[in-house]
Amino acid sequence: MGVCYIKPVTLSGFRDYLPGEAAVRQEIVRVFRETCELFGFVPLETPAVERWDILAKDRETLDVIIYNVQGSKEEGDGTKKGLRFDLTVPLSRVVAANPNLPRLFKRYQAGPVWRGERPQAGRYREFIQCDADIVGTRSPVADAELVRLMGRVFERLNIREYLVRINNRKILNGLPELAGFAGEHLPEVLRILDKLEKEGLPRITSALEESQFLSAPAAGRILEVLKVASGREQWLSALRDIFAGSGVAQEGIGELAEMGRMLVESGLPAENWTFDISIVRGLAYYTGPVFETTLLKCPEMGSVCSGGRYDSLTGVFGLNKPATGISLGLDRFYAALDRIQALPAAHAGPAAVVIAVDPGSLAVAGNLAADLRENQVRTTLYPESRVRDGLAYAKAAGARWALILGENEMTQGTVQVKDLATGEQKTVPRAQVGSVVGG
Amino acid sequence: MGVCYIKPVTLSGFRDYLPGEAAVRQEIVRVFRETCELFGFVPLETPAVERWDILAKDRETLDVIIYNVQGSKEEGDGTKKGLRFDLTVPLSRVVAANPNLPRLFKRYQAGPVWRGERPQAGRYREFIQCDADIVGTRSPVADAELVRLMGRVFERLNIREYLVRINNRKILNGLPELAGFAGEHLPEVLRILDKLEKEGLPRITSALEESQFLSAPAAGRILEVLKVASGREQWLSALRDIFAGSGVAQEGIGELAEMGRMLVESGLPAENWTFDISIVRGLAYYTGPVFETTLLKCPEMGSVCSGGRYDSLTGVFGLNKPATGISLGLDRFYAALDRIQALPAAHAGPAAVVIAVDPGSLAVAGNLAADLRENQVRTTLYPESRVRDGLAYAKAAGARWALILGENEMTQGTVQVKDLATGEQKTVPRAQVGSVVGG
C-alpha cells in the first residue's frame, strides 16, 4: 500500500552536471568558441536527430552504437532516424547540401553526441565534442592551423604541459612497399603500431615478429622505422632516408615538414609538439596528417584532443571535398584536468546576497540588488525576510557578501555588510555599498 | 546504372543553422546566460535522454509528442526512454534526486528539447529553450525576479518595446465562486478567456453567453471581470473590490501587489509590464503568478517568453517543493526579432585574411596571422598561395581586411593592406599592420 512515486534517476550512461561542474564546463566551451573565432572559424548548429541512412553509412560498425529515434504515429514521419554519434557526419551533410558555402569553409561546433556503447568507467553514452574543421583545401597549412588553434585553447586555460604528437598516414602507407608485405595487411600492422605507447617496444617487437602476415625481414624493417620514434627536424630527415624509394611516404614527410614550419611561425612552443611514427588514429578514416594530444601530467587518460585529415568524407554524397578536423572531448578533458587539479576557475552563483530583515524591507532590498547588478555584481535578492536562511543560502552558494537591511538600516540609510570570508560585519552607508562590494 | 548517392537532407521539422544565423543565436544565448549569472542563477546540464516514466507522467498529452529512443541489443539497456520535451521535468528530477542542493535553488539552463508534433510553418520538432527557475520559495519576490531577469535580457539586446503581462491563477480560481458556476467547469471558462487577445471581446462575450455551463448572470459577472482588462494599481483595486468575498482571489491579488512593488524597485520601466486578467497559460500546470511577453512591434508572433509558478512540480517524486520559472523560446524569439529587424549584431568570421602570393611566403604569412591573433584580431590564414581565391574567400567571409604578402613584401618588410570596404590598397610596413587593422 502507499503511493507509488517515480524514482528521480538518470539512465545508465547518462548524467547530470550540477552547477559547480556545469559552470567549469561552460567556461571551457566558451574559451574553445572564442579561440575558434579568433582563428577565423564560424559556428554551425545541426540537429541532434539525423536520417539513419546518413548516420549509418558504415553499417558494420555504426548500427551498433547509433540510438534509434521514433516519433509517435501522430508525428507522422516514418523515416528511420537516429541520434548523431559525432559532429563530422552532420558537417559533411551540410557541406554537401549547401553548394553556396565559401569554397574554404572553417566551422566550429560544440555539442552533445550519443553512442549506445556498453558503459565503462568514466565513459558516457552522451558526451560533448568541441570540433573545428577546415573544408576545401589539401594544404598542410590547414592541418597546422588546427594544431595551433587547440594549443591556443590550452594556453588560454593555463595548461602549458601538453604534447601534440603528429604523424602522417601517407608515411604509414609507405610501409608495405618498404618492408615488403602485402598492402592488404597494413591495417593489421597499424593496429599493432597503435599500441606502442600503451604496451612498450618489447611487446610490439614480439607482436610484429609473431605476426603471420610478416616475414622476419619485414618485421625487422618495420622495427627500424619504429626506432625513429619521435622528433622534429632529425625525425623528418631520418624518415626521408628510410623511405627514399616511396613516393607516398615522401609526400607525407613533405606535408609534415610544411606543418612543422607553420607551427614554428605560429608561435606554438617547441616543447608542445613533436612528430611521432606511432600515431595512427581511426583505420578507415584518415588520409593524411593525424594528431593526438596528451596532458603530460596525466598520460594515463590518453588523448584528450585529436584529429586529422579525412579527404574522402563527402564521398557518400557524391562530392569530393578535402577536409581536416580536430576534436576536443569535453568530458575526458574535464576528467583529466580534474585529476591534475588544473580546472579553470569559473564562478557559479552570486557574489552578493541581499537579505531583508522584515517584509517591509524587501522593496528596499530589491532596490539595492538592482543597483548592485547595475554595477555588474552577481547578486541574489533573497526572496524571503529570513536572515538566518538568507545567510545559510549565501554561504552554500559561495557568496562573498551578505547585505542585510531592516527598519533600522532603512531609517539610517545604511546596510549591514557582512564579509563571509572573514566573518566581519560592519554598517555601511547605502551609497557606499557598491564600492565596498564591487571593489 | 550509375552510383547511388545518399541525399544530404535534414529530417522534416529539423534544421541546420548556418554560420550567420548560428552566431546570432549564440549571442542571444550568451546574453541570457550572463544575465542569469548577474541575477545569481547557476547553470545546470541534464541529459537529452530521460527515462520514459519520468517524461510521460501526464500520459494523455505527452505520449504523443515524446520521441522514443532505443539503443541496439549490444547497448544492453532495455529501459524505455525518450528525448526530453522541456527543461522543467529534468529540473524537477534533479531537485528530487539531490537533497543536498541549497534550499533556495536558482538555476538556468539553455538547451534543445524535442517534440514530435506535426510540423507547422515556423515551428520545429527540435528547438532551444532558455529557462530560469527558482525552486524552494513561495514568495512573489521570486516571481518578480524572473520577470526582471528577462526584462534585463531584452534591454541588453536593445529591445525596449516589449510588454510583460502578468496575472495570477489564484484570481482566476476565484471565478466559480464569484460568478456562481461549478468549479469543474473552470477549465472550459479559462479556455475561452485565453482567446481574448486573439479573438477580441465581442467573440469572447458570445462564447461565454453561449456556454452551456454558464447561466446568463454567471456569464455577465465573468464579463465584468474581463472589463477590468489590464493595468497596475487601479487594476489591483478594481479586482480587490470585485473579488471582495473570495479568499483565494484576494491572496492572488496580494501576491501581484507585492510583485508590482518589487518590479518598480527593480527598475523595470513602467511601460514594460502590466497586469492582465486574460493571461491564463497551461491549464493543469500553473498555481500562482503567470506571465507572458510580447514584442510590441510583432504581436502576431504571440508570447516569446513566458512562465509562472508551478508549486506542485516535484509531486510525482513524492516531494512538495514550490517553484517558479520563465522560459525564452530561442527559435520564436529569433524569428520575431528577425521580422522586426532587431537581431543583435554578432560577428561570424574573420576580420582579417592573410594571403601569401607564393608558397615561399606562407611561413611569413603564418607569422603575421599569429601576431594579429595575439592582438585579438579575428584572422584567417589563407592556407594556399592563391591571391584571387584568398580575396574571394575574404569577401565571402565578410572580412574587412585582406593582407597580402609575397617576395617583394618580404624583402621590403612590408604588407599590402587592402580595405575590402573601400577597395583601397596600400603598402604598410610590417610593424604597423597591427595598428592599421586592429585600430
Q: How far is A39 from chain B (nearest CA, A)?
A: 5
Express the helix, strand and coil content of chain A in percent, nearest 5 each: 45, 20, 35
Spell out the alpha helix ranges (H) of B293-421: 330-339, 362-374, 387-396, 407-412
| Facing A349 at nearest CB: one of B42, B64, B97 | B42
Which residues on A lie below 8 Å from B396 (Cβ)?
A: 102
| Minimum-distance CB partner of A11 among B49, B112, B383 | B49
Question: Rounded to a whole number, what is the distance in Å from the CA of A151 to chain B's nearest CA?
Answer: 12
- B363 to A134: CB separation less than 8 angstroms, yes or no: no
The reported pLDDT for the residue numbered A59 is 54
**B318 burial type by CB count under 10 A (0-12 exposed, 13-18 middle, 19+ buried):** middle
* pLDDT tens per residue, range A49-93: 999 999 987 655 677 899 999 999 888 899 999 999 999 999 999
Q: Kindly give the pairing relationship between strand A414-419 and strand B273-276.
A: unpaired
Contacts of B38 in chain A (CB under 8 A): 373, 376, 378-379
| CA gap A75, A110 in Å, rounded | 29
Which of B349, B365, B366 shows the shortest CA–CA distance to B357?
B365
Half-sphere exposure of B336 (CA within 13 A, CB side): 24
Candidate from A22, A77, A98 with C-beta closest to B44: A22
**Interatomic CA distance for residues A164 and A149, integer angstroms:** 12
* Alpha-carbon span A332 to A298, nearest angstrom: 11
The residue to which cell 529515434 is assigned? A69
Which residues on A lie below 8 Å from B40 (Cβ)? 349-350, 353, 378-381, 397
Half-sphere exposure at residue A320, Cβ-oriented, CA atoms within 13 angstroms? 1
Give the model confidence (pLDDT) of A359-408 as tens digits. 999 999 999 999 999 999 999 999 999 999 999 999 999 999 999 999 99
User: B8 and A70 in contact by Cβ < 8 A?
Assistant: no
Nearest to A164 by CA among A295, A257, A297: A295
Element (H, E) at B31: helix B19-38
- Residues sharing a CB contact under 8 Å with residue A423, sequence separation 6 or more, in sequence order: none
Give the distance from residue B37's alpha carbon to the nearest chain A alpha carbon, in angstroms: 6
Query: Which residues from A are below 8 Å from B22, CB to CB?
Result: 42-45
Are B6 and A54 an interchain contact pair (Cβ–Cβ within 8 Å)? yes
- Cα–Cα distance measured from residue A27 to residue B198, given in angstroms and rounded to the nearest whole number: 43
Amino acid found at B101: L
* pLDDT (0 to 100) of residue B120: 73
CA atoms within 13 A on the CB side of B188: 15
Give the chain B residue nearest A68 (alpha carbons).
B70
Question: What is the chain A residue with the closest CA to B53?
Answer: A6
CA angle at A362 for the pair A357 and A365, rounded to the nearest 5°: 90
Question: Which residue of chain B comes nearest to A63, CA vs CA?
Answer: B72
In whole numbers, what is the pLDDT of chain A averaged over residues?
93
Round to whole Å and give the CA distance between B203 and B195. 9
Q: Is the CB of A373 less than 8 angstroms away from the CB of B38?
A: yes
> Could you tell me if A430 and A368 are in contact, meaning their C-beta atoms sit under 8 angstroms apart?
yes
Cα within 13 Å of Cα(A2), Cβ side: 4
Mean pLDDT of A167-185: 95
- What is residue A400's DSSP assignment? S
In this predicted structure, the answer to whether residue A107 has a pLDDT above a threshold of 80 is: yes
Cβ pair B370:A26 closer than 8 A: no
For residue A307, the number of C-alpha atoms closer than 13 Å in the C-beta half-sphere is 28
Confidence of residue A118 (pLDDT cuts 50, 70, 90): confident
User: Which among B3, B7, B124, B391 is the top mutation candidate for probing chain A, defined by the most A β-carbons within 10 Å of its own β-carbon?
Assistant: B7
So what's the pLDDT on residue B58? 64
A156 contacts in chain B (CB < 8 Å):
none
pLDDT confidence of residue A385 = 97
- Give the whole-angstrom CA distance, residue A328 versus residue A176: 32
Domain boundaries, chain A: 352-438
B223 vs chain A: nearest CA distance in angstroms? 34
pLDDT at A319: 83
Mutate to test the interface with B, among A3, A4, A12, A14 (most CBs of B within 10 A): A14
Chain B residues within an 8 Å CB radius of A347: 37
- Please judge whether A363 and B3 are an interchain contact, meaning their C-beta atoms are less than 8 angstroms apart: no
Would you say A334 and A295 are in contact if contact means Cβ atoms under 8 Å apart? no
DSSP result, A153-188: HHHHTT---EEEEEEEHHHHTTHHHHHT--GGGHHH
d(CA B88, CA B181) in angstroms, rounded, equals 33
Query: Which of B350, B367, B397 lies nearest to residue A265, judging by beta carbons?
Result: B367
Q: Which among A44, A74, A382 is the nearest to B64, CB-wise?
A: A74
Dihedral sign for Cα B402, B404, B409, B413, please.
Answer: positive
Chain B residues in contact with A374 by the CB 8 A cut-off are: 267
Please, which residues have CB within 8 angstroms of residue A17's CB and are 6 or more apart in sequence?
Answer: A25, B44, B45, B46
pLDDT tens across the length of chain B (439 residues): 456 788 999 999 999 999 999 999 999 999 999 999 999 999 999 999 999 999 987 655 677 899 999 999 888 899 999 999 999 999 999 999 999 999 999 999 999 999 998 877 667 999 999 999 999 999 999 999 999 999 999 999 999 999 999 999 999 999 999 999 999 999 999 999 998 888 999 999 999 999 988 999 999 999 999 999 899 999 999 999 999 999 999 999 999 999 999 999 999 999 999 999 999 987 778 999 999 999 999 998 999 999 999 987 777 788 889 999 999 999 999 999 999 999 999 988 999 999 999 999 999 999 999 999 999 999 999 999 999 999 999 999 999 999 999 999 999 999 999 999 999 999 999 999 988 998 6
Q: Do A50 and B11 touch (CB under 8 A)?
A: yes
Mutate one of B12, B36, B45, B129 to test the A interface: name it (highest A CB count within 10 A): B45
User: What is the pTM for the complete model shown?
Assistant: 0.95
At residue B1, the pLDDT reads 43
A352-438 is classed in which CATH architecture? 3-Layer(aba) Sandwich (3.40)
Contacts A137 to B, Cβ<8 Å? 383-384
Q: Which pLDDT score is estimated for B63?
A: 72
Residue of B nearest to A314 (CA): B8
A26-55 confidence digits (pLDDT tens): 999 999 999 999 999 999 999 999 999 999
